[in-house]
Structure 1
Amino acid sequence: MTSPASQPLGTTVIVANHFQNENCHPDGKIKVGIGADSDWRWQRLDNAKKLFAAARNVAMPIVHVRLAVPADFKGVVANTTLIREWLKLGAWREGTWGVEFIDGLAPTADEYVVTHTRNSGFHNSTLEEVLFSLGARHLICCGVSTAYTVEATVRHGTDIGYEVTVASDACSTATAEQHTAALAAMAPLAEIKTVAEIVAGF
């Protein structure tokens, strides 16, 4: 059995989830990703920038997963407290500032953007097709929030056969306790490494 560390760089892809204004910017409507008063907000986003820069330096593909629902919420299944809160706040509406990528973490012209409407980056999106086209075997996952989209994407990815590494300090959620718990829950499925540890292997 191989491990993420043994996978060649040519089969490694960064999967970056929800680095968007709605949940990363202080003026965004969603606070479960990075709390409004979180003193680690910019540190986590800066770490993601370092990961992106290192990946681009070695021509490693980056797939940016964005969350956006129809502006009128038509077809949105509000079956969870989280999604009902989106509707209440009018969040994640396609065509609004909230679903734009936060400054400094937007894709470049040659990078991939995948849109979805739930937690897992794979659900009802083209992520799996994009990864297949890239010959991916190993995913490096990061994003906001750790306990929702990152964990859901990691679980889905490992279920369909990918080796996964989580960039632990390029992820965030509302509280440090929730972040730590999510990382612990993913540890049996994925390698948990800091950005510095990851880029040292590039």
Structure 2
Amino acid sequence: MAPPVVIALHYQNDVLHPDGKIRVGLGAEDAARTALLDAAGRLMAGARARGWPIIHVRVAFRPDYADLQQNAPILRNVAAIGAVQEGSWGAEFFSELAPLSSRNEFSVTHQRINAFYGSPLEQLVRQFHSNRLLIAGVATHSVVESTVRHAVDCGFEVTVAADACACADAGAHRASLASMALIARICEVNQALEEAA
């Protein structure tokens, strides 16, 4: 059986760094932020140790946002706060979780809520001939859930590493995980690594 493909969503400076423009409500000294970074770090380390492919996904737009279709509040807010502009520090991957120079690691940029839509993500995933995805990222109730639903509709078997996901509202995070449990396996990083091996 082919190993799972890890999809790491939006581990970017504007999302995770204390000086980022989005920050999903996680302050520099917030215990939830520390827990998220620890879990995501364990996910990356575990996947690398097992030789699993990792696809790092980021969202980025032109500095003038001419390529941002602002048809939803979350997308209008990106432009309003000046976040994730291509070429900016904020759009770059957060250093602790950034891709390594490895034949098993890839990066994809997307511009919608669902990371598959309008991006090369599905084509890249399929080259590994695996029907299993291990997905984590920020924010749980937006890019993670949208991407998970699309993946399931494409026929992939999905596991969500819950402790490597977060959003500004803890209640929304829990509700999103509960909703995704109807279509994906929800578990902690350590369990996901052990079970998928």
Q: TM-score band, normalised by the shorter chain? A: over 0.9
- Residues 11 and 135 in structure 1, CA contact (< 8 A), matched pair in contact too: no
TM-score if structure 1 supplies the norm length?
0.92
Structure 2 equivalent of residue 193 of structure 1: 187
The correspondence for 1:154, drawn from 120, 144, 148, is 148
Runs of 5+ consecutive residues of structure 2 not aligned to the other structure = none
What is residue 87 of structure 2 aligned with on the other side? 95
Instruction: Tell me, in whole angstroms, the C-alpha distance in 2 between the residues paired with 1:115 and 1:39.
Output: 29
Which residue of 75, 78, 99 maps to 2:67?
A: 75
| Cα distance in 2 for residues equivalent to 1:97 and 1:105 | 15
Structure 1 equivalent of residue 126 of structure 2: 132
Partner residue of 2:137 out of 143, 168, 171: 143
> Structure 1: which 5+ runs fail to align?
1-7
Give the match's secondary structure for 1:98.
Answer: coil
Shift of 1:160: 0.7
User: TM-score normalized by structure 2?
Assistant: 0.94
Change in Cα spacing, 1:75 to 1:199, as seen in structure 2 (3 Å) is closer
In structure 1, the residue matched to 2:16 is: 24
Tell me if 1:35 matches 2:44: no
Task: Number of aligned residue pairs: give it.
Answer: 193
Alignment partner for residue 85 of structure 1, among 68, 77, 83? 77
State, as a whole percentage, how many aligned pairs show the same letter: 41
User: 1:18 is matched by which residue type in structure 2?
Assistant: H
* Aligned twin of 1:60: 52
Matched, 1:166 2:160: yes
Cα distance per residue 1:156-199 (max 9 Å; x no partner): 00011000000000000002111100001100010001012112
Moved over 4 A (4+): none
- Within a 5 Å distance, the mapping from 1:4-23 to structure 2 comes to 8=1, 10-23=2-15
Q: Deviations over 1:77-109 (max 9, x none)?
A: 111111111111111100000011112100011
